[in-house]
Amino acid sequence: MTLGHKKGTTMPDTDRCPDCSRINEVLSRVGDRWSVLVVISLSRYGVQRFNALKKNLGISQRMLSLTLKQLERDGLISRTYHPTIPPKVEYALTPLGEEFRAPVTALGHWALDNLRAIDAARDVYDAALEEARE
Amino acid sequence: MTLGHKKGTTMPDTDRCPDCSRINEVLSRVGDRWSVLVVISLSRYGVQRFNALKKNLGISQRMLSLTLKQLERDGLISRTYHPTIPPKVEYALTPLGEEFRAPVTALGHWALDNLRAIDAARDVYDAALEEARE
DNA sequence: CGGTATCCTTACGGATACTG
DNA sequence: CAGTATCCGTAAGGATACCG
C-alpha cells in the first residue's frame, strides 16, 4: 500500500479504499485514546505497575483494567504477576508493542507540537462563525 | 518532551505524566477513527469531494459531515465551496493537515503491517483462556 | 495492591427523511 | 450534490463498592 499522496492519482469513486476498512479494523482495537496513552507511557518510563499507570495517566481503574487486558490480548504488552503480599503486577511492551512505539510516539510528538496551532485554528473558526451570525 | 524510552528513567509516581493529559486532549479531538481515516484518504488521493469521501470510507453521511466540520475547525482540512448547479464541495489538507500526514500514515502502515500479528496474538490469548477454563 | 462487578450517564454513530 | 434534522440503539467510560 502507498499511503503517500501522488499528484496524478485519482480516486476511482466506484470503489472504496480497500485498506481503509482494514486500517479501521486495527485502529478500532489499538487506536483508541487510552491504548495509545498506555503505550506512550510504557514507552517513556518502561515497565510500570498498575497503580503507577493509573496515577500517571489519570485514567479510571475500570478503563485501565479493560485497556490493559485488550492490549495484552492483542500482544502489545505483557503482564507479569508477582504473588507477593501485597501482590505486584508489572506491565511492559512486548516486541510487537516495541514496534508500535515508533508510530505512536510520532503521533504523541505531533500532538504536543501542534496543540497550540489547533487551538488557534479553532479560535479563528469560531470567530468567523460569530461574525457570520450577525 | 522525550517520548523515547530511557533505560534509567523511573516514573515519579507521586506525579502524573504532564504531557499525557495534553496528548490526551489533542487525541480526543483529531484522534478518533473517522478523523484519522479522512486524513489518510485525503493524504492518499488528494482533494476529494463529499460523496467521494463517503463512498471511499464507507462512512455514514452524518458522521462524515460532523467529522469534516471538526477537522476544518481544527485547521487540518480546508473546505472549498463551488456554487454551481449541482453544488460541488472540495476538501483538502491544509499545511497543518499535511504535517499530520507523517504520523498518521506511519500509524496506518503499522496497522496494515501488523494486522495479522495481532490476530495471531489474539488466537493464542483466547486459546490459553480456553485452556485455563477447563 | 490489583483487580471485578454493578450502576448509571453521556457520547458515538447508523438509518431515515427532508432541504437549498 | 452536499448537506441538516430527528430518532434511536449501542457502546464508552466514570463512580462506587467489594474481593483475593
Q: Which residues of A touch B101 (CB under 8 A)?
A: 5
Predicted pLDDT at B91: 98
Q: For the residues of B82-131, what is the DSSP string, one character each?
A: E--SS-EEEEEE-HHHHHHHHHHHHHHHHHHHHHHHHHHHHHHHHHHHHH
Closest CA to A32 of B39, B28, B100: B28
- Length of chain B equals 134
Q: Does the CB of B115 have a partner CB in chain A at under 8 Å? A: yes
Asked which of A14-18, A45-49, A107-111, B68-72 is least confident by mean pLDDT, the reply is: A14-18
Q: Which residues of A touch B72 (CB under 8 A)?
A: 125
Q: What share of chain A has pLDDT > 70, as a percent?
A: 87
Q: Does the CB of A69 have a partner CB in chain B at under 8 Å? A: no
Mean pLDDT of A91-102: 96
**pLDDT tens string A32-59:** 889 999 999 999 999 999 999 999 999 9
Q: Is A26 exposed, middle or buried (0-12, 13-18, 19+ CB in 10 A)?
A: buried
Higher pLDDT, B130 or A50: A50
Q: Does the CB of B65 have a partner CB in chain A at under 8 Å? A: no
Query: Rounded to a whole number, what is the distance in Å from the CA of B127 to chain A's nearest CA?
Result: 11
Q: Hey, how many other C-beta atoms are within 10 angstroms of the C-beta on B60?
A: 11
Chain-chain contact of B118 with A74 (C-beta, under 8 angstroms): yes
Higher pLDDT, B18 or B48: B48
The strand pairing partners of A88, in sequence order, are A82
User: Does the A31-133 domain belong in CATH 3.30.70.141?
Assistant: no
Q: Hey, how many other C-beta atoms are within 10 angstroms of the C-beta on A18?
A: 8
Q: Which three cell numbers stand for residue B35?
A: 478523523
What spatial distance separates the first Cα and last Cα of chain B, rounded to whole Å? 48
Contacts of B115 (CB under 8 A, 6+ apart): A22, A25, A26
| Distance CA A88 to C1' C5 in A | 22
Query: Does residue A110 surpass a pLDDT of 60?
Result: yes
Tell me, yes or no, if the pTM score tops 0.95. Answer: no
Query: Rounded to a whole number, what is the distance in Å from the CA of B133 to chain A's nearest CA?
Result: 16
Query: Does residue A2 surpass a pLDDT of 60?
Result: no
Predicted pLDDT at A68: 97
Closest CA to B75 of A126, A33, A133: A126
| Distance CA B112 to C1' D15 in A | 38
Predicted pLDDT at B24: 85
Predicted confidence band of residue B13 (pLDDT cuts 50, 70, 90) = very low
Amino acid whose CA is nearest the C1' of C14: B60
Query: Does residue A73 surpass a pLDDT of 80?
Result: yes
Closest CA to B39 of B115, B29, A32, A44: B29
Contacts of A117 (CB under 8 A, 6+ apart): B75, B96
SS3 A99: helix
Nearest Cα residue in chain A from B47: A10
Mean pLDDT of A85-94: 97
Predicted confidence band of residue A6 (pLDDT cuts 50, 70, 90) = very low
Closest CA to A31 of B117, B11, B35, B58: B35
Domain limits of chain B? 31-133
Say whether the CB atom of B32 is under 7 angstroms from strand C: yes
Query: Rounded to a whole number, what is the distance in Å from the CA of B4 to chain A's nearest CA?
Result: 6
Between B23, B30, B115, which is nearest A22 by CB?
A: B115
B103 and B38 Cβ atoms separated by less than 8 Å? no
